[in-house]
């Protein structure tokens, strides 16, 4: 019989609240504790939660001492992840760590080292894997629906970064940079879909529109708002990322195109402002005139629980299944490390105007 998983949310900002909404619609899960140093976030999350007996803590030590949760969701600001994880390891809880795992490769290596013999599940939150059109496209690619994959294109055109508590996300030193903070999702997808490791990365990027008039303690934000990134993989497949963060009036926020030697697959994810809970997957074979069209719809209750097209819900189902059946995490620390390394390589490439070899990171 499956155990009902009791969650504590560490970091109760926007993403923490998305986790709460999704956990509450899963039958064998519940949120029993909240932990945050910012009173406003705790209050907003408590008011959102259906369970009014939920416990609230303003420090991790008290949460650990309480010992009422089976799993911790770590959704604190990026730069705090490494220190938060070090603290909670003593509790031996199952961990779902929001992306990016850390803000740089050195911290990722340290985390990999200190969790080597960890007995409970550690799962890195990569929601985009679990968007239904993306997971279906991935399945078709892996079953050779379009033959041998040769090219993969990912495009995201969206709104600028949202405001966060104390504006921590306005500076690369706190986020790892946009190509780590935002794009680790896409680099993770590249590895998942292509089933190979990256060899080199070239990026052209800039901060051309967003946050240029903002100032925080006399500092102007330094986060990239648009980029093109090219990635070569060991198996010969090439992938590109097209990112624009000043394109909020768009129909499809994410678009994906995979081309094989026999045909291609295209799909996309509607923007949040569109309110659409369905998308189309198109398969065009080279020897056929008419494409195959498949409509993919997310249940409205699941869709309404977050801002990631239902993916957070499906991610939690996978996490819970991993815990109850003692299965390896579908998104591992290695996956988290590579997604950060690829983002860091892209940031370096954009700043230095050169190709970055992944061998430079000693992965």
Give the pLDDT mean for 154-178: 95
Give me the CATH number covering residue 270. Answer: 3.30.360.10
Q: With a threshold of 0.85, does the pTM exceed it?
A: yes
Domain boundary among 104, 127, 150: 127
Task: Give the Å distances, CA to CA, from 4 to 27, 281, 309.
Answer: 8, 35, 25
- The number of residues making up the chain comes to 363
Q: State the pLDDT at residue 60.
A: 98
Do residues 92 and 162 share a domain?
no
Give the pLDDT mean for 123-127: 97
Residue numbers of the domain that contains 267: 128-298+333-361
- Residue 318 within a domain: no
Do residues 119 and 160 share a domain?
no
- Residue 287 within a domain: yes
Q: State the pLDDT at residue 315.
A: 98
- Residue 174 within a domain: yes
Do residues 32 and 175 share a domain?
no
State pLDDT tens for residues 225-253.
999 999 999 999 999 999 999 999 999 99
Residue pair 110/132 in contact by the 8 Å Cβ criterion: no
Q: Which residues contact 332 (CB under 8 A, 6 or more apart)?
A: 122, 124
CA atoms within 13 Å, Cβ hemisphere of 28: 13
Residue pair 17/48 in contact by the 8 Å Cβ criterion: yes
* Band of pLDDT at residue 3, cut at 50, 70 and 90: confident
Do residues 82 and 170 share a domain?
no
Do residues 202 and 238 share a domain?
yes
Q: Which residues contact 145 (CB under 8 A, 6 or more apart)?
A: 260, 263, 265, 283
- Residue 328 within a domain: no
- Residue 315 within a domain: no
Task: Give the Å distances, CA to CA, from 287 to 145, 151, 261, 264, 359.
Answer: 13, 19, 11, 11, 40
Number of separate domains in the chain: 2
Kindly state the percentage of the chain with pLDDT values over 90.
95
Do residues 136 and 257 share a domain?
yes
Q: State the pLDDT at residue 282.
A: 98
State pLDDT tens for residues 288-345.
999 999 999 999 999 999 889 999 999 999 999 999 999 999 999 999 999 999 999 9
Place of tokens 């815990």: 323
Strand order across the 55-57 sheet: 55-57, 29-35, 5-10, 71-74, 94-98, 122-125
Do residues 103 and 189 share a domain?
no
- 2 pLDDT above the threshold of 80: no
Q: State the pLDDT at residue 1.
A: 52
Encoding tokens for residue 193?
């879909």
Place of tokens 């070239």: 202
Kindly state the percentage of the chain with pLDDT values over 70.
100
Domain boundary among 98, 127, 156: 127
Do residues 137 and 123 share a domain?
no
Domain boundary among 70, 102, 127: 127
Do residues 263 and 132 share a domain?
yes
Do residues 101 and 83 share a domain?
yes
- Residue 58 within a domain: yes
Average of per-residue pLDDT values in the chain: 96
- Residue 307 within a domain: no
Do residues 115 and 15 share a domain?
yes
Q: Which residues contact 197 (CB under 8 A, 6 or more apart)?
A: 191, 233, 234, 338, 358, 363
Give the pLDDT mean for 89-98: 98
- Residue 304 within a domain: no
Give me the CATH number covering residue 62. Answer: 3.40.50.720
State pLDDT tens for residues 188-209.
999 999 999 999 999 999 999 9
Do residues 51 and 172 share a domain?
no
């Amino acid at each position: 019989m499956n155990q009902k998983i009791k969650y504590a949310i560490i970091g109760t900002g926007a993403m923490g609240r998305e986790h709460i909404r999704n956990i509450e619609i899963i039958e064998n899960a519940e949120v029993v504790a909240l932990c945050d140093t910012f009173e406003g976030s705790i209050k907003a999350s408590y008011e959102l939660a259906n369970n009014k007996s939920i416990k609230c803590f303003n420090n991790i030590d008290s949460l650990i001492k309480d010992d009422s949760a089976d799993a911790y969701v770590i959704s604190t600001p990026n730069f705090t992840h490494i220190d938060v994880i070090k603290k909670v390891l003593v509790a031996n809880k199952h961990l779902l760590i929001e992306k990016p795992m850390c803000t740089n490769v050195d911290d990722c290596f340290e985390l990999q080292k200190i969790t080597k013999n960890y007995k409970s599940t550690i799962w890195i939150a990569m929601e985009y894997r679990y968007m239904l059109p993306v997971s279906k496209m991935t399945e078709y690619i892996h079953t050779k629906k379009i033959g041998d994959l040769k090219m993969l294109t990912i495009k995201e055109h969206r709104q600028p970064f949202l405001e966060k508590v104390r504006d921590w996300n306005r500076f690369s030193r706190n986020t790892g940079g946009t190509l780590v903070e935002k794009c680790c999702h896409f680099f993770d997808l590249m590895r998942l879909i292509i089933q190979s490791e990256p060899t080199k990365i070239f990026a052209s990027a800039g901060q051309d529109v967003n946050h240029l008039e903002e100032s925080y303690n006399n500092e102007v934000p330094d986060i990239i708002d648009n980029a093109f990134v090219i990635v070569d993989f060991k198996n010969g497949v090439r992938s590109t990322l097209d990112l624009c963060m000043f394109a909020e009036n768009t129909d499809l926020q994410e678009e994906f195109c995979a081309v094989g030697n026999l045909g291609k697959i295209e799909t996309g994810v509607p923007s949040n402002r569109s309110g659409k809970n369905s998308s189309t997957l198109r398969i065009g074979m080279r020897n056929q005139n008419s494409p195959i069209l498949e409509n993919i719809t997310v249940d409205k209750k699941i869709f309404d629980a977050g801002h990631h097209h239902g993916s957070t819900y499906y991610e939690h189902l996978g996490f819970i299944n991993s815990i109850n059946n003692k299965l390896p995490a579908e998104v591992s620390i290695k996956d988290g490390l590579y997604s950060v390394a690829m983002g860091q390589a892209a940031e370096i490439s954009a700043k230095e105007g050169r190709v970055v070899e992944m061998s430079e990171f000693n992965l």
